[in-house]
Amino acid sequence: MPEPVCSVTDPRLGELSGMVVHDGGLWGLSDGGRSVQIHRIDRSNCDVIDTRTADIDPFDVEDLAVGPDGALWAADLGDNERRRDTVAVIVLPERGTAQLHRLTYPDGPHDAEALLIDAQGRPFVITKEVGRPAGLYRTADAPEGEGPTPLLPVGELNLPASNTLGGPVGGIGTRLVTGAALSGDGTVAAVRTYTDAWLFPVGGGDLVAAFNRPPVRVPLPDEPQGEAIAFDVDGALLSGSETRHGVRGEIRAVAGAAALAGEAAPVAPLPPAPEVVPDPGPPPWLPAALGGAAVVGVLVLVTAVASVRTRTRRG
C-alpha cells in the first residue's frame, strides 16, 4: 500500500498532473496556466524549491516525461471536448531554448493524459478513452521542428478490471488512463488510472511489446484525483493527486514497486494495427432502438468524465 510522502499545500501544485524523477530530484507540473512551469518539489513538505519555465502558451498540459538526453517533456495532450487539430509536446532541454513539437492523430482528435519517451527520443502517447481500450500512438522518429509530426497507431491497451476505490468519477475511473512513467533504467513501464497503477516489464526498450503483456496491479486507493506517477531512483513508485473539493492532494510512495513487474519474457509481436477512421458517432436509428432512457444514461456517463475538469479550456 502507498505510504504518504507529503501533503500538497502550494497552490502551484494544486492541479498536480505529471511527475518525473530527474537527477535525483522530484519534478512536477500542474495542468493549468498560460505558460509551461515545471516545479522541483521538496519531498519533506511538498514545497516548490525551483521552477523551470518555457514561454509557450499550452492548451492543456497533462503529463511530464524525461527523455534519454535528460530533457523534460511537457505533454500538451489534453482535449476533453475532442476538438483539437493538433496536440503538442514541449521539450525543455538541460540547456538552451524550449522546443515545441506539434503532433497529429491519424484518426481524429483524442483526449490523452499519459506520455512516455522511448530510448530513441520518440513520444509515446496513451489516450484516455471511455468504454473502450486506450489507444497507443507513437511517432516514427524523434520529432524535429514544430511540425506537425504524424502519430502512428501501434496498438491498444485494455486494462484489467479493478475494485480499488477512489477518484472523481466512480467505477469507470478504474480504466481511464491518467498518467504514465518509465523506471530510470527503462525496464518497467507504469500506467496509472484514477485508482491503480499497472506495471509492465519492458524488454529491449520495446514499449509496444510491453503493453501486450499481462500487467501487475498496484492499488492507489482514496486519491481525490490521481493523475501523476513516477519511479524513484530506488524503484519506488511515486503517485500524486490533484486537490479536489477541498481534499488536499498528496504524494505517496510504494516501496520496491519496480521489482514487482518482474522481467520481460519473449512475446509474439502485435498484429498490424487495423486501419482506423474517425468515429462517425451513433447511427440515426440508435436512439429509437435503445429508447430515451438508455440514451440519457449514456449522456450522463460521458458528461461525468468530461466534468472532471472544473475550469474552461482555452481554444
pLDDT tens per residue across span 205-261: 999 999 999 999 999 999 999 999 999 999 999 999 999 999 999 999 999 999 999
Q: What is the pLDDT of residue 94?
A: 87
CA distance 310 to 236: 31
Q: What is the pLDDT of residue 287?
A: 39
- Does 284 have pLDDT greater than 50? no
What residues contact residue 95 under an 8 Å CB cut-off, 6+ apart? none
CA distance 9 to 22: 22
Buried b (16+ CB within 10 A) or exposed e, 124-163: bbbbbbeeeebbbbbbeebbeeebebebebbbbbebeebe
The answer as to whether 314 is a domain residue is: no
- Does 37 have pLDDT greater than 80? yes
Q: How many CB atoms lie within 10 A of CB 283?
A: 8
Q: What is the pLDDT of residue 297?
A: 43
Q: Which domain holds residue 146?
A: 3-306
Give the total number of structural domains in the chain.
Answer: 1
In this prediction the pTM is: 0.85
Cis before 148 (ω within 30): yes
Lowest-confidence region among 31-35, 216-220, 306-310? 306-310
CA distance 220 to 107: 32
Residues in the chain: 315
The answer as to whether 220 is a domain residue is: yes
CATH number of domain containing 90: 2.120.10
- Does 130 have pLDDT greater than 50? yes
The answer as to whether 311 is a domain residue is: no
CA distance between the termini of the chain: 40
pLDDT band with cut points at 50, 70 and 90 for residue 33: confident
- Does 177 have pLDDT greater than 50? yes
The answer as to whether 315 is a domain residue is: no
User: DSSP label at 269?
Assistant: P
CA distance 58 to 36: 7
The answer as to whether 298 is a domain residue is: yes
